[in-house]
């Protein structure tokens, strides 16, 4: 399996929508064929349209607040010894996470298609919060599907959604987490696709949703590339880009500009949710060798049993608690361009504590998984190695979990 150069990864699929001949595709019910086709055509048109690009860039700058900063974590680096640790503080983006890029683009597409209703799924509540913000901004009516368990554990984001006027539809089926929210959102779209636009909250789902989301978050790496050049005059010789992977939208966005580089120069490291140390359950299909399966309209590595029933997952981080993963990450794994590993709940909590102790940074539980890997490898690496962690979410939403697991204070 081989990557092409000079073509964005999101476009390296075949006619049927498969990356590497086997990941992705569009396994959708007949009813969604037409709306998916319409959306595909519209997106193809819009991404070539100068006026649309101008509009996107305008909102990225003036609404989202691009660029987010790129900072050196001196105290943490000194404490650990070894590599320099840097962070791209994507959590500075309006709303507090990278999900705002995808949400804003979807709202713009929804407007362009003349639809007044927009629906989306959410796990950590960031995708939902951002979609509710964008919907409010652009005058769209918004419904968010969210597992009942996640509604309980990510209350601050739910409060924000409601404040923005969105309706939260609690999903009570299955494990009551992200996987069920996505299913329910798709069902809703099947029934209402004539007047409603659907946003998928990550680089998952039928081919077109992977593309739109990746195209949106790619902004992160465009910023980073110029920030690297500003900081170091040219792209340094040894870089490691470490990112947590749930569906994979922030990781793809963080990496997309750097995929063509030699992996000896720029290593891409994806960190999945390993779940509680003592539990057999996890949400790490790539790093714990799940089999290929079909989930939510696409083929990818999926946590499942022999029969093809989707397996329950477990993670302290609602945003990573998903049995599947983006087909483009499966492609990056099998082509060996990226390396995938996992961090346990405990690793993430420890990393959170260490980062917040040494730095003026408050990463949510998702990027805390990425920090766990950085903390693990930094001491073994040379001073001229630049580790960059995408701090893609703010921990305000995790207030209750952190308090429960780490005690008061926070």
Q: Which is nearer to ligand PLP, 97 or 140 (CB)?
A: 97
Q: Do 126 and 393 contact (CB within 8 A), yes or no? A: yes
Query: What residues contact 258, with CB distance under 8 A and at least 6 apart?
Result: 221, 225, 239, 241, 266, 268
Residue 25 found at the interface with other proteins (CB under 8 A): yes
Q: Which does 364 bind (CB under 5 to 8 A by kind): other proteins, ligand PLP, none?
A: ligand PLP
Q: Which is nearer to ligand PLP, 359 or 366 (CB)?
A: 366
**What is the DSSP pairing of strand 84-88 with strand 386-390?**
parallel
Report the phi/psi class of residue 205: left, alpha or beta, with left for phi > 0 and alpha for psi in -120 to 50.
Answer: left
User: Residue 207 Cβ, how far from ligand PLP at the closest point, in Å?
Assistant: 16
Distance CA 310, CA 177 (A): 13
Q: Which does 127 bind (CB under 5 to 8 A by kind): ligand PLP, other proteins, none?
A: ligand PLP
Residues that bind ligand PLP (CB under 6 A): 97, 99, 123-124, 126-127, 202, 244-251, 319-320, 364, 366, 392-393
DSSP per-residue string spanning 85-148: EEEE-GGGSTTSBTHHHHHHHHHHHHHHTT--EEEEEESSSHHHHHHHHHHHHHT-EEEEEEEH
Q: Which is nearer to other proteins, 191 or 384 (CB)?
A: 191
Distance CA 96, CA 397 (A): 9
Distance CA 202, CA 183 (A): 14
Q: Which stretch binds other proteins (CB under 8 A): 19-27, 125-133, 258-266, 368-376?
A: 19-27
User: Residue 354 Cβ, how far from other proteins at the closest point, in Å?
Assistant: 37
Q: Where are the alpha helices (DSSP H) in 335-398?
A: 345-358, 365-377
Residue 113 found at the interface with other proteins (CB under 8 A): no
Residue nearest to ligand PLP (CB): 393
Report which secondary-structure segment, H or E, holds 84.
Answer: strand 84-88
**Contacts (CB under 8 A) with other proteins, residues 293-322:** 293-297, 302, 304, 306-310
Residue 71 found at the interface with other proteins (CB under 8 A): no
Report which secondary-structure segment, H or E, holds 406.
Answer: helix 399-406
Q: Which does 9 bind (CB under 5 to 8 A by kind): other proteins, ligand PLP, none?
A: none
Q: Which does 202 bind (CB under 5 to 8 A by kind): ligand PLP, other proteins, none?
A: ligand PLP
Which of 107, 193, 224, 251 lies at the binding interface for other proteins (CB under 8 A)?
193
Query: What residues contact 211, with CB distance under 8 A and at least 6 apart?
Result: 10, 11, 43
Q: Which does 248 bind (CB under 5 to 8 A by kind): ligand PLP, other proteins, none?
A: ligand PLP
Supply the Cα-derived Rg of the chain in whole angstroms: 19
Residue 279 found at the interface with other proteins (CB under 8 A): no
User: By rule CB under 8 A, what string of x and - marks binding of each residue 29-58 to other proteins?
Assistant: xxxxxxx-----------------------
Residue among 48, 130, 133 at smallest CA distance from 97: 130
Residue 8 found at the interface with other proteins (CB under 8 A): no
Residue 384 found at the interface with other proteins (CB under 8 A): no
* HEC assignment per residue over 238-287: CEEEEEECCCCHHHHHHHHHHCCCCCCCEEEEEEEECCCCCCCCCECCCC
Residue 3 found at the interface with other proteins (CB under 8 A): no
Which of 16, 49, 69, 279 lies at the binding interface for other proteins (CB under 8 A)?
16
| Alpha-carbon distance values, 121 to 47, 125, 401 (Å) | 24, 9, 21
Distance CA 396, CA 410 (A): 9
User: Residue 29 Cβ, how far from ligand PLP at the closest point, in Å?
Assistant: 24
Q: Which stretch binds other proteins (CB under 8 A): 77-85, 218-226, 286-294, 345-353?
A: 286-294
Which of 8, 82, 156, 174 lies at the binding interface for other proteins (CB under 8 A)?
174
Residues that bind other proteins (CB under 8 A): 16, 25-35, 173-174, 179, 183, 186-187, 190-194, 291-297, 302, 304, 306-310
């Amino acid at each position: 399996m081989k990557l092409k150069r000079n073509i964005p990864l999101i476009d390296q699929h075949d006619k049927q929508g498969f990356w590497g001949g086997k990941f992705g595709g569009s396994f959708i019910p007949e009813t969604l064929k037409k709306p998916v086709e319409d959306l595909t055509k519209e997106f193809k048109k819009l991404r070539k349209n100068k006026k649309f690009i101008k509009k996107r860039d305008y909102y990225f700058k003036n609404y989202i607040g691009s660029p987010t900063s790129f900072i050196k974590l001196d105290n943490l680096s000194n404490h650990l010894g070894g590599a320099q640790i840097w962070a791209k503080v994507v959590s500075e983006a309006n709303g507090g996470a990278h999900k705002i890029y995808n949400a804003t683009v979807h709202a713009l597409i929804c407007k362009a298609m003349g639809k007044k209703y927009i629906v989306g799924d959410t796990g950590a509540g960031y995708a939902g919060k951002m979609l509710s913000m964008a919907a409010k901004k652009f005058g769209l009516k918004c419904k968010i599907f969210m597992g009942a368990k996640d509604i309980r554990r990510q209350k601050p984001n739910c409060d924000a959604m409601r404040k923005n006027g969105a309706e939260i539809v609690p999903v009570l089926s299955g494990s009551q987490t992200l996987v069920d929210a996505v299913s329910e959102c798709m069902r809703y779209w099947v029934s209402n696709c004539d007047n409603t636009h659907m946003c998928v909250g990550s680089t998952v789902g039928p081919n077109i949703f992977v593309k739109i989301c990746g195209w949106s978050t790619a902004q992160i790496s465009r910023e980073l590339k110029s920030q690297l050049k500003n900081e170091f005059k040219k792209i340094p010789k040894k870089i490691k880009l470490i990112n947590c992977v749930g569906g994979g939208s922030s990781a793809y966005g963080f990496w997309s500009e750097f995929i063509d580089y030699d992996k000896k120069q720029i290593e891409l490291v994806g960190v999945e949710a390993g779940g509680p140390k003592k539990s057999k359950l996890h949400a790490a299909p790539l790093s714990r060798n799940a089999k290929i399966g079909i989930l939510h309209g696409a083929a990818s590595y999926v946590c499942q049993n022999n029969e093809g029933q989707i397996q329950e997952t477990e993670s302290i981080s609602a945003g990573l608690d998903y049995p599947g993963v983006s087909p483009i990450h499966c492609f990056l794994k099998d082509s060996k361009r990226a390396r995938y590993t996992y961090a346990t709940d405990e690793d993430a909590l420890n990393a959170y504590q260490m980062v917040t102790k040494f730095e003026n940074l408050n990463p949510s539980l998702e990027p805390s998984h990425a920090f766990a890997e950085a903390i693990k490898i930094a001491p073994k690496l040379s001073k001229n190695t630049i580790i960059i962690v995408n701090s893609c979410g703010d921990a305000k939403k995790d207030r209750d979990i952190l308090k429960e697991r780490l005690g008061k204070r926070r």
